[in-house]
Structure 1
Amino acid sequence: MRQPLACDSSARVQTSGLEYQVEKTPDGVHGIRMALIELNGSSEAERARIAKHQPFDSLQDFRDRVRPKRRTFKSLARVGALDSFIGYNRDRRHELLAHIQSLQGSAVHIGDDQLALDIELPPLGYEGNRFKAVTSMELRGRTQTDLELRDLNVAVSNHQSARFHDLFRDLGVTPAAKLIDLPGGTEVLIAGVRRATNTPPTRNGIGRVVFLSLDDGSGPVANAVVFGDAQQRIGGKVFRTSYMLIRGKTRRSGARRVSVTVDDMWDLFDVQRKVKARLKVEQRDADAHASAGVHQVEPVAGWHLRAV
């Protein structure tokens, strides 16, 4: 799935069912509500109990009626399926995860005709020194997309490459959707997340050619071809790098077919770190010159690949 789904379509224990559902938001946008079956590690019995007992009055009510495994409980918290119990405040998910991790004992079995104890977990009404929440480190350094891919196997909130779009603009990366407009032999930068890798046998049986498909979120995937000489220069990144920046030349094979012959390749996370480090140094130097009263010409936005 290359494009984020319309509306708030992630899994929610209060509304998600055993099947996908089409929903309409107050602003009139239609979207698809994810089915509970997409939750990694959840059992059929757990999903059935969630659907049967919706909606839930509290986290305690959810725990006692669904009796989820700790793994399922934590997965639901990571992807935001339990946000209704923390006031839809994403900043409190780390508290929720820490609370789930600290739970002891077994859930209290509640029959269909019984009322659950309405106890807020974790406590929301305490402030100041009376309650200092223990936090979870599971969310540190991870985007919502990372968590969705981990626990749902699909990016719902945003595209995987969205975190790099500012970097793409600075570097002059050509969107995959625009490659079709370029003549053959045009030198370009393309980038994105690896979607497929193929190494079909060659006609003479000597060497191999690697075919890559990159998804940058602009629509179609970009197809790249890595021949033997480029493979020797690039090394293991041809197969190991999931998020990549590629420099190469367009190659047309028909009116509507275009690929990129790869000359070089970089790991996007490495490029991003180096660009941030460079911009930090430039900002520090600019601040130093400003404090000294020295006028400095602003650096041109962008970045040269030789700096990698």
Structure 2
Amino acid sequence: MNAKSHTTTTLDVPAEAVHIPVTRRVRRPSRRWKNLAVKLTFAGPGVLLLLVLSLYPMLILAQMAFSDVTITNILGEWPGVGLQNFAVVLGSSTFRAVAVQTLLFVAAILICTMAAGLFVALCLRSSRGFSLVTQTMLILVWTLPPVIVGSLWKFLLASNGAINYALVQIGAIDKPIPFLSQPSTGLTAIAAVTIWVGIPFAGLVIKSAVLDVPEDVLDAAKIDGASSTQILFRIVLPMIRPTLLILGVLIVVGAFKAFDLIYTMTRGGPGTASTTIPYLGYSTAFQTYQFGQAGAISLVAMAIVLLLAVAYIFALRKEDRS
């Protein structure tokens, strides 16, 4: 059998004539940029609207606080006065008295609302049939507009209102008490109504936190002989502390910026007996027409709310970490 010989021929091909396909790497946007684009798409219109409706008025308010603005030049030029408005406001005895009233007002609302909310939460947790009806009533009270609440309680607390009539009939008082028109009870009445409005929110929030406490922990404490008081103060409250902290900050912010109930029930009177810092800014602007001083008061109030907001953010981060 003859073997066939095969010869291999090598061709000299110029390098320029050889086409080697090159794969180009297409750079695609990273996941981070995609997430940023999605966030801007959804949040952009809201942020723009917030800047127009909030940031611009704040800038005008800041300009007003450092200027001499009254009813005579509100539409004209505002001459700058530096820190004079702040000096007048902070040196005023009226502002100092109102600041003390605001502090007591906020502290009373915080303590009473938290205590009453905890009591309501524990009651709702222990009774299922009672819980459904009560939660419905709480949500109804919580959703009422402040103007309606203020008008209702203004009618009930009037000298000839239902509360005075009931107190006289049962012999608790000899004659009707003008709760809203005397200096000693005006702010207390508003604080009581504010607490009444805030209890539903506090109760529902605390109830949600209490329900997250593991049942096996409570059962183990009962087996070990712990009383209900010990379980509450040594187990339940420490475990829901982050929620209580955030709730407390929200209550303080809401109480500090209270305006609707004061305007509806007492208009800050008699005198300034039921006036808080935010309402003092309103009355300074629209009753005495000292818009520059009103701007200074508003900036002071804004600074206090900003501090509370920072406290809220830190509390929220602390809860997330825990």
Q: Flag the structure with higher helix content.
A: 2
TM-score normalized by structure 1?
0.22
Q: Flag the structure with higher strand content.
A: 1
Between Structure 1 and Structure 2, whose CA radius of gyration is higher? 2
TM-score normalized by structure 2?
0.21
